[in-house]
Each structure stands twice: as C-alpha cells, then as structure tokens.
Amino acid sequence: MAGTKFAYVRNFELPDPLLPDTYLVCRLDGHSFHRFSDEHGFAKPNDERALLLMDHAAKSAMIEFKDIMLAFGESDEFSFLFRKSTNLYNRRQSKILTTLTSYFTSCYVLYWSQYFPDTPLRYPPSFDGRIVVYPTERAIRDYFSWRQADTHINNLYNTTFWALIQKGGQTATEAHATLKGTVSATKHEMLFSQFGINYNEIPQRFKKGSVIVREIVAPESSDKGEKLEPPFDPFHQQCSKVKKKNKLETKVEVLHCDIISDEFWLPRRHLLEN
C-alpha cells in the first residue's frame, strides 16, 4: 500500500498530540447563529426548542464518546470535558476535534424536526470548535464557572434588552442605548418596575444553562435482573462479571443547576478524578 513513489507526501502530515495527563475541554459554537436564529424564527431572547435541540445533540455526543464526563451549554455553544487520562484517538487533536464537531452537527440536523416540526431547515448549520488543555482541577472548575457566569450575564442583558423592544416599544439601537453602562441591580429593577418581570422566576434553564453530567449508577441497581442463562460456561461468565464490576455503569443526565459552588463538585469526585 505504502510502496508507491507518491507515498512520501504522507510525511508532510504532522502529528498533533495533545499534552498527556491533562484535561481536555472542547468548546463548540454555532457559526453565525445570530443569522441562523433569525432565519429560523427563534423566539427571543430564549427559544426553548433550540436549547432542547442543543441538549439532545450534546447528550448524544456524550453517549457516543464515553470519555466525556461533563458538558455545559448555553445559547449556541457547548463545552465538553474529557477525562484527563483519555486516550481517545491517541489524543490526536484534529481527530478528536473534527469527529466530535461533525458528530454534534449531524445530531443537530438529524433531530431538528423533532424540535422544529413546522420549520424546515433552510440551509445547513455549522459549528466551529476548539480544544484547550488544562492542567489542574482548579482551572477546570474556573473554566466552567466562567461559562456559567457568562450565561447569567448574557441572559440578564438579553431579557432586559428584549423586554425593552417587545414590551417597551424601543428599537434595538434605543434598547442598547438604554442599557449602556447599567449594572445588574438596575436591570433587575427595570424588569420588575417597568415590565412586571421578576427575574428570579425565569426558568433555571435560561439562567443557569444546561449541565450534562455523567453520573455513576449505584451498583445494586445495575446488578438487578442479571442472571445466568443455561447453558453457560462458568469461566467465561466469571470473566465477564469481573470485567463488568471494574467498569462502573454510568448514565448521562441533563441538569440546570449551579456549577460554581462546591455543592455540585464535592459529591461528584469521579468527574475530575482520572
């Protein structure tokens, strides 16, 4: 196969391994989703169907890529945390990034009609992606805190911005001008006194984003119902049982909770452990 005179060109392909024993964070972001959301009639400021579709695509990606321990999504983006000992594709950067990005994008398209039954896709959406390696647990926690704080800041801004337009009759330019330089307490106050919106009552999904976590299934429940069917080979059964015991069963769950405080992380040591 490699024996032709042309094969030397292969040597121009350079290896791109990611640093060993470091956490990998892959963040995907919709390309030009400002336009995409307009052309597909997304509700503003938060189209719940679009968020549910993003969650579905991210959950599918976590079922496909077992080394993803945690994902966080808001708006048109999702961040995926790979465990630090992952050896997926020998940690080749472009292979991991392109495969995950295209898998996510395909899922987004595949499941589109489940969430937008009356809105045909007008053109193919695409996502950009990047991988950043982080050396410490602290950096990972700060990374996810950064994204969730961003969700909150953007959501408060967008909620007020769209209230000024939809309920206050302002143009986009006027609404931006109204909000220029305001602190968050002012936005809460504007929402409440001018539009009767209590920010605290806005759905958690919009305020906290989506946290998709790989949870360990309690061993008792995973053992249930397992019985040996005759005829069986005792040695083989033993081997497969041992193998099963060492590999804990996990499931993937979507939450809308705080991930900045210890409360999320302390009971979930497995997310950062290896």
Task: Say whether 47 counts as a known binding-site residue.
Answer: no
133-192 residues near Mg ion, rule: CB under 5 A: none
Q: Which is nearer to Mg ion, 74 or 190 (CB)?
A: 74
d(CA 46, CA 67): 30
Task: Say whether 32 counts as a known binding-site residue.
Answer: yes
Q: Which is nearer to Mg ion, 129 or 140 (CB)?
A: 129
d(CA 30, CA 46): 15
Task: Say whether 31 counts as a known binding-site residue.
Answer: yes
Cβ atoms within 10 Å of 104's Cβ, excluding its own: 22
d(CA 268, CA 274): 12
Q: Which stretch binds Mg ion (CB under 5 A): 37-45, 67-75, 132-140, 219-227?
A: 67-75
Location of structure tokens 């143009």: 171
Task: Say whether 142 counts as a known binding-site residue.
Answer: no
The CB-based long-range contact list for 166-174 (8 Å cut-off, 24+ gap) reads: 166/44, 167/194, 167/195, 168/194, 168/195
Going by C-alpha positions, the residue among 201, 256, 270 that lies closest to residue 54 is 256
Q: Which is nearer to ligand ATP, 86 or 151 (CB)?
A: 151
Q: Which of 76, 78, 82, 210: binder of Mg ion (CB under 5 A)? A: 76
23 binds, among ligand ATP, Mg ion, none (CB under 5 to 8 A by kind): none
Nearest position to Mg ion, beta carbon: 29
d(CA 181, CA 220): 55
Q: Least distance in Å: CB of 94 to ligand ATP?
A: 13
Q: Tell me the two tokens of residue 213.
A: 């976590």
Q: Which is nearer to ligand ATP, 50 or 191 (CB)?
A: 50
Distances (CA, A) of 187 to 44, 154, 158, 180: 17, 12, 10, 11
Q: Does 74 bind Mg ion (CB under 5 A)?
A: no
Helix (H, G, I), strand (E, B) or coil at 234: helix
Q: Which residues bind ligand ATP (CB under 6 A)?
A: 29-34, 37, 42, 44, 46-47, 50-51, 75-76
Task: Say whether 76 counts as a known binding-site residue.
Answer: yes
The type of residue at 175 is A
Binding mask 214-243 for Mg ion (x = CB under 5 A): ------------------------------
Instruction: Give CA torsion, residues 32, 34, 36, 38, to 10 deg.
Output: -160
Q: Which is nearer to ligand ATP, 31 or 245 (CB)?
A: 31
Q: Which is nearer to ligand ATP, 1 or 185 (CB)?
A: 1
Q: Does 36 bind Mg ion (CB under 5 A)?
A: no
d(CA 213, CA 195): 36
Residues contacting Mg ion: total by CB under 5 A: 6
Q: Which stretch binds Mg ion (CB under 5 A): 21-29, 160-168, 243-251, 263-271?
A: 21-29
Q: Does 33 bind Mg ion (CB under 5 A)?
A: yes
Q: Which residues bind Mg ion (CB under 5 A)?
A: 29-30, 33, 75-77
